[in-house]
Amino acid sequence: MRVADFFCGGGGFSEGFRQAGFEIVFAVDKWAPAVNTYKGNKPGANVIQDDVIRISNLPDDEFEALVPDSEVIIGSPPCQSFSHSNKSGNADKELGIKLIEAYLKIVARKKYKQGSVLRYWVLENVPAVKDYIKDEYTAADFGLDGDFVLRPKDGASGKYNAKYYGAPTNRERYLCGEFPRPVATKTDNNITTLRQVLNSLGDPLRADNGPITDINYPDFTLEAQQVTDQHYIYELAAFECKTAKRLKQDKGYMGKMSFPENLDKPARTVMATMTASAREAMILGYGEGRYRLPTVREAACMMSFPIDYWFYGESKGVKHTLVGNAVPPKLSYAVAVAIATAANEPIPAEYIPIQHAPDDEQLHFVNLNGAEFEIREEQPKRETSKFKYHIPYLIIDAYRVELTNYRSDFKNGKYKWETEIHYSQGKDKARVYNPNITMRVIPPQHKNRVQNYIEQAKKAVPNMNAFQTVFCMTTEARGQQNYYGPYELLESVKAFIETIFTPEEQKEYVRFGDEPTKLPLAIATGYLILKRVVTHMGRLQ
C-alpha cells in the first residue's frame, strides 16, 4: 500500500509504515534539514520542500499533478502552539489551526474525488489539539464543491501513549482520522525503561567496536562505531545543574521532577530543544556530582528510531530538533500494522535495515561521533534582567514568599525590589498578599534571634540598584562580593529559618490582622525578614 506523508519532518511517522512494508511515495515539509533527513533515510520516496497550506489550495490540475494518489495519508502538523509547555498552553492557536485544516482539506480532496483510492488517513498531534479539531467539516468549510462531510474524530480516534506500543518514552499523542485501532504491545509491567536504552548503547565514550543490539529492534545489530551521533559527551556546568535542579524540584506549586532522570521508567517526553536551562530538561548523571545531556542517538532511541537512522543536521541542536519533533516510529508502526492487518497486506517478519541515500553536497551527513563540546561558561545577565523567585524549597500549604523586581523602571535603570506572599496558582485560586506582619507573630523564645538576623542581613545588602547589579553577575563574581544578591539572600533566609524552627514549628499557623489573617510560621517569618531587608535597601537609595 502507498503512503503520502504531510508535515513529514525527519520521517518518524513514515518510518513505522516503512517497517510494516508500505511504500512511501510522497512527502513534504518546509524545513530543509527535515527534507534532507527524509531523503537520506528513504531514498525511494519523492520528498519536496514546500508549504502544505499552499499545496492544499492549488487548482485541481496542479494539485493532482503534485500529490500522487495513495491508499494511506499521514500527517503531523506542527504542534508547538497546542502544547501545554508553550506559554502554559496559552500560545496563539491560529496558525496551528490553519495547518490542521490545510491537512484535512488535502485528505478531503483525495478522499472525495472521483475514482479515489484513499482508504485510511491519520493525523497525529499533542492531546490538547483535540479541542481545536471540529467533529465534522463540510465541503463548504474547505471551500470545495460537493456535499460531503469529513468526520475526523470517528472510529479509533483518541489518545495513545507511545510507551505502550514499544517506544521507551512516556509520550502521549492524539491520533484521529480513519484507521483501525492499533494493538498495544506493552503494559506497565514490561515497558522499556530509560536504563535499558542507555545500557544497550553503552558508555558514549566507549572506544571498542563491539556489537550494539538495538533496544527497540532486537533482531538488528551494528558495530558500536557504526552507530552515529552517539560517541561524545555534552557535560553541564555547575550553574546549569543548579538552575535545572531548582526548576525541576522547586518550581512554584508544580510537582517535583527527578534530578537526574529516573532511569527505571520510560524516558519523559523528548523535547525538540535539548537544553539544560528548562524545567523539561532531560539530564543524566555522569559520574559523582557531574551531569550531562543525552546524546542525539540516545534521544533517538528513546523515541524508538532504529540505530541505523541518520539525522541530517549540521549541528547537535538541529539533530535534536529532528528527533524531538518526530512521531515515535514504534507508535506509527502499530498504526501501520493495524491498517495492514485490516487490508490483508503482508507484514515483514523482521526489521528491514535502512538503505541510505548516497552522500552528496546536498545530503552530506555530519556525524557527531568524536565531537568535543566545551563546558559552558556562565555569562553575566543583561542589566535589565527580571527576577521573580521564592525562598527556595519553602512552600507550605500552597504559600510561598517571593522576591521580585518586576515593578522596576527598567527603561531608566531605577530598580525596585519587593517581597510578596503568593498562594496557590491558576486564575481562580491564585492570590498575592502584602500584609503588615510585625515581630508579634514570632514566638518569644525566637524574637531576639530573628531581630539579630534581620540586622545582619541589612548589612549584607546594598541599595536596590546595586542589588540589581549583583544579581546580574555570574555566580563566581557574586561570590567575590561583600554583598548578597537575590539568590544569596533567599538562600540565607531559608537556612536561618531551618536553624531556628523545627519542621513541625515551621508549619504551625500564626495569626495577625491583615489578609490572609493567618500563615504558617515559616512563611510569616520569611516575609517579615525580607520585607524589612527590602525596606532597608530602599532607604539606601
Mark whether 336 and 229 lie in a shared domain: no
Sign of CA dihedral 143, 144, 145, 147: negative
> What residue has cell string 557531574?
290
- Angle between helix axes 521-539 and 444-459 (nearest 10 degrees) is 30
Angstrom CA distances, 208 to 79, 114, 204, 224, 389, stand at 40, 59, 11, 7, 47
> What is the reported pLDDT for 71?
98
Rounded Cα distance between 446 and 484, Å, is 24
In a domain, 380, yes or no: no
pLDDT cut 90: percent of the chain above it? 89
Q: For residue 408, give the nearest of 538, 533, 536 by alpha carbon.
A: 538
Mark whether 37 and 162 lie in a shared domain: yes
3-state SS, residue 167: coil
Bridge-partner residues for 160, per DSSP? Answer: 173
Contact between 97 and 146 under an 8 Å Cβ cutoff? The reply is no
Q: For residue 101, give the nearest of 149, 71, 63, 141 by alpha carbon.
A: 141
State the pTM of this model: 0.91
Contact between 304 and 328 under an 8 Å Cβ cutoff? The reply is yes
**Position 253 confidence tier, pLDDT thresholds 50, 70, 90:** low
Rounded Cα distance between 413 and 468, Å, is 10
Q: Which three cell numbers stand for residue 303?
A: 523515541
> What is the reported pLDDT for 490?
98
In a domain, 26, yes or no: yes
> What is the reported pLDDT for 426?
83
Domain that holds residue 286: 194-302
H or E segment and range at residue 518 = strand 518-520
When pLDDT is averaged across residues 102-126 and rounded to a whole number, the result is 97
Mark whether 166 and 234 lie in a shared domain: no
Mark whether 142 and 220 lie in a shared domain: no
Q: Which residues are catalytic?
A: 79
Instruction: Give the distance, in angstroms, between the CA of residue 223 and the centroid of all CA atoms in the same chain.
Output: 31
* pLDDT single digits (tens) 231-243: 999 999 999 999 9
> What residue has cell string 541510505?
356
Checking if the pLDDT of 294 tops 90, the result is yes
3-state SS, residue 2: strand
In a domain, 366, yes or no: no
Checking if the pLDDT of 519 tops 80, the result is yes
Instruction: Give the distance, in angstroms, between the CA of residue 51 and the centroid of all CA atoms in the same chain.
Output: 25
Length of the chain, please? 541
Checking if the pLDDT of 84 tops 60, the result is no
Q: Which three cell numbers stand for residue 429?
A: 485560586
In a domain, 316, yes or no: no
> What is the reported pLDDT for 370?
96
**Position 163 confidence tier, pLDDT thresholds 50, 70, 90:** very high
CATH number at residue 12: 3.40.50.150
Phi/psi of residue 118, nearest 5 degrees: -65, 125
> What is the reported pLDDT for 419?
98
Checking if the pLDDT of 375 tops 90, the result is yes
Interior/surface letters 204-237, b for 16+ CB within 10 angstroms, e for the rest: beeeeeeebebbbbeebebebbebbbbbbbbbbb
In a domain, 374, yes or no: no
Sign of CA dihedral 49, 51, 52, 57: negative
Instruction: Give the distance, in angstroms, between the CA of residue 92 and the centroid of all CA atoms in the same chain.
Output: 18
What's the total number of domains in the chain?
3
Q: Max Cα separation, the chain?
A: 88
> What is the reported pLDDT for 88?
41
> What is the reported pLDDT for 86?
43
* pLDDT single digits (tens) 311-363: 999 999 999 999 999 999 999 999 999 999 999 999 999 999 999 998 887 88
> What is the reported pLDDT for 81?
54
Rounded Cα distance between 35 and 7, Å, is 10
Contact between 160 and 327 under an 8 Å Cβ cutoff? The reply is no
Q: Which three cell numbers stand for residue 107?
A: 485528505
* pLDDT single digits (tens) 208-219: 999 999 999 999
**Position 277 confidence tier, pLDDT thresholds 50, 70, 90:** confident
Mark whether 140 and 7 lie in a shared domain: yes
Rounded Cα distance between 74 and 29, Å, is 13
> What is the reported pLDDT for 4?
98
Rg (CA), the chain: 28
Mark whether 222 and 181 lie in a shared domain: no
Rounded Cα distance between 486 and 390, Å, is 10
Mark whether 235 and 263 lie in a shared domain: yes
Checking if the pLDDT of 521 tops 60, the result is yes
Mark whether 294 and 422 lie in a shared domain: no
In a domain, 350, yes or no: no
Burial class of residue 381, CB neighbours in 10 A (0-12, 13-18, 19+) = middle
Mark whether 57 and 173 lie in a shared domain: yes
> What is the reported pLDDT for 89?
46
Checking if the pLDDT of 6 tops 60, the result is yes
3-state per-residue secondary structure call for 312-337: CCCCHHHHHHHHHCCCCHHHHHHHHH
What is the dihedral angle through the alpha carbons of 83, 86, 92, 98, rounded to the nearest 10 degrees? -40
Question: What value does the mean pLDDT of the chain take?
Answer: 94
Contact between 267 and 194 under an 8 Å Cβ cutoff? The reply is yes
Checking if the pLDDT of 13 tops 60, the result is yes
CB atoms closer than 10 angstroms to residue 135: 9
In a domain, 361, yes or no: no
Q: Classify strands 72-75 and 120-125 as parallel, antiparallel or unpaired.
A: parallel
**Position 427 confidence tier, pLDDT thresholds 50, 70, 90:** confident
Q: Looking at residue 80, what DSSP letter applies?
A: G
Contact between 408 and 416 under an 8 Å Cβ cutoff? The reply is yes
> What residue has cell string 503494559?
187
Checking if the pLDDT of 87 tops 60, the result is no
Mark whether 167 and 34 lie in a shared domain: yes
Bridge-partner residues for 161, per DSSP? Answer: 172
Rounded Cα distance between 312 and 229, Å, is 11
When pLDDT is averaged across residues 172-193 and rounded to a whole number, the result is 97
> What is the reported pLDDT for 287?
87
Bridge-partner residues for 47, per DSSP? Answer: 27
**Domain stop point among 342, 371, 397:** 342
Mark whether 182 and 270 lie in a shared domain: no
Checking if the pLDDT of 393 tops 50, the result is yes
Checking if the pLDDT of 251 tops 90, the result is no
**Position 47 confidence tier, pLDDT thresholds 50, 70, 90:** very high
In a domain, 355, yes or no: no
Mark whether 401 and 451 lie in a shared domain: yes
> What residue has cell string 498575592?
432
